[in-house]
Amino acid sequence: MEQPQDSKFEESFLPMTSIGSGMGVSVLPDVYCYTDQIVNLVVVGTPYEFVLIDTGMPKSAEQIKDMIKERFGENAVPKAIILTHGHFDHVGSIVSILEDWEIPVYAHDDELPYLTGKKDYPPGDPNVDHGLVAKMSPMFPNHGIDISKHVHPLPSDGTVPHMNGWKWIHTPGHTPGHISLFREQDRTLIAGDAFVTVKQESLYKVITQTKEISGPPRYYTTDWDAAYESVKKLEALKPKVAVTGHGIPISGEELSKDLQYLVVHFDEIAKPESGRFVN
C-alpha cells in the first residue's frame, strides 16, 4: 500500500541533522540566522518590528517559537513571514506557526501556485549527484502546501513589508518564484537557495556543515540557465555578508571571491552533469 508522503518523510528523513542544528548566530545586530536540522531560517528586525524568513523543517514550530521568545521575549510575535520559496524544508512548520499567529505571509507571485495547493514541485532528482542526500531526495515531500488564507504576493515595487531598507530580488532557477533579500545600506544578502555554502547533496558535508560555495541544491533545481543568471545577479550586488538557506553565513573577501568563482565556474561547480532537469 502506498504510504502517505508525511509518514514516508518521518521515517526516512528526520534522523538527518547537522552539528549546527538548534543553534543560532547573530550575523548582524538585527539579522539572526538559526539552523533547524539542515536548513537555515532568519529573524530580521528588532523586538518591536521583526519578520521571520522561512519556517524550517516540518514539526519544528515549537522550537522556532521558543527561539523567538528567547530572542525577543515571551510575547514576541513576528509582523510577517517572508518566504524565499516553498520547498518543504523552508515552509515545513508554517501551517502550525500560522495556527498560533495570525500573521501575513509574503512570497513571489510565481511561487504562489505551490503555496495555495495548485501545484506540486517535481520530486527530487536522485541522478544529479552521488551524494546521499541527493539519493534520498525523491523521498522528500514535494507536494505544495495550501496557505491561501495567509499568503500574499510581495509588493511589485521591490519593497518588503516590515523590512525597512530591504528589497526583494527575483532569483528564479531553483524554483520559479524564488527570491533573495538585499539591504543596500550594509550590503547584506539573504540568498535563500539561489546559492548555498554547503554541498547540500552530500550527507557528510551537510552533517558537518563543511563550508563550500555551491550553486542551488541540485536535486530540486529545475532551470539551470535561470539559476546561473540569478547567481550572476547576486554577485553583481557585491554583498558584504550573506546568509544562505543551507550552510554557514559567509562574509567579506571570502564571500566576494567565492561568489566570483561560482559565477565563472558555474557549469563545473553547480550544474549536475546529468539529471532530469539538465538535458
Interface ranges with Zn ion (CB under 5 A) = 87, 89, 193, 245
Please give the Cα distance from 135 to 126 (Å, whole number). 4
**Closest distance of CB 216 from Zn ion, Å:** 7
Residue 135's H or E segment, with its range, is helix 132-136
Measured distance CA(172)–CA(20) in Å, rounded: 28
How far apart are the two ends of the chain, measured CA to CA in Å? Answer: 34
Pick the closer one to Zn ion by CB: 144 or 245: 245
**Which letter does DSSP use for residue 180 in this model?**
E
- Residue closer to Zn ion, measured from CB, 87 or 150: 87
Q: Minimum distance from CB of 102 to Zn ion (Å)?
A: 26
3-state SS assignment for residue 234: helix
Q: Are β-strands 250-251 and 241-244 bridged in parallel, bridged antiparallel, or unpaired?
A: antiparallel
Assign residue 238 a region: left if phi > 0, alpha if psi is -120 to 50, beta otherwise?
left
Helix axis angle, 224-236 to 252-264, nearest 10°: 140
Cα separation values, 30 from 2, 17, 46, 147, Å:
46, 26, 6, 28
DSSP conformation class of 122: P
Residue 72 or 92: the one with the smaller Cβ distance to Zn ion is: 92
- Indicate the pairing of strand 241-244 with strand 151-153: unpaired
Q: Distance between CA atoms of 14 and 71, rounded to whole angstroms?
A: 26
Q: Specify the residue, 72 or 180, whose C-beta has the smaller distance to Zn ion.
A: 180
CB of 223 to Zn ion, least distance (A): 13
Residue (72 or 195) nearer to Zn ion, CB: 195
Residue 198 CB, nearest distance to Zn ion (Å)?
Answer: 10
Which residue number has the CB closest to Zn ion? 87
Q: Which is nearer to Zn ion, 72 or 220 (CB)?
A: 220
In the complex, minimum distance from the CB of residue 86 to Zn ion, in angstroms, rounded to a whole number: 8
In angstroms, give the least distance from the CB of 184 to Zn ion.
25
Provide the 10 A C-beta neighbour count for residue 256. 16
Between 215 and 245, CB nearer to Zn ion: 245
Residue among 72 and 154 whose Cβ is closer to Zn ion = 154
Shortest Å, Cβ 39 to Zn ion? 6
Residue with cell 550594509: 186
Coil/strand/helix, residue 175: coil
Report the nearest approach of Zn ion to the CB of residue 17 (Å): 15
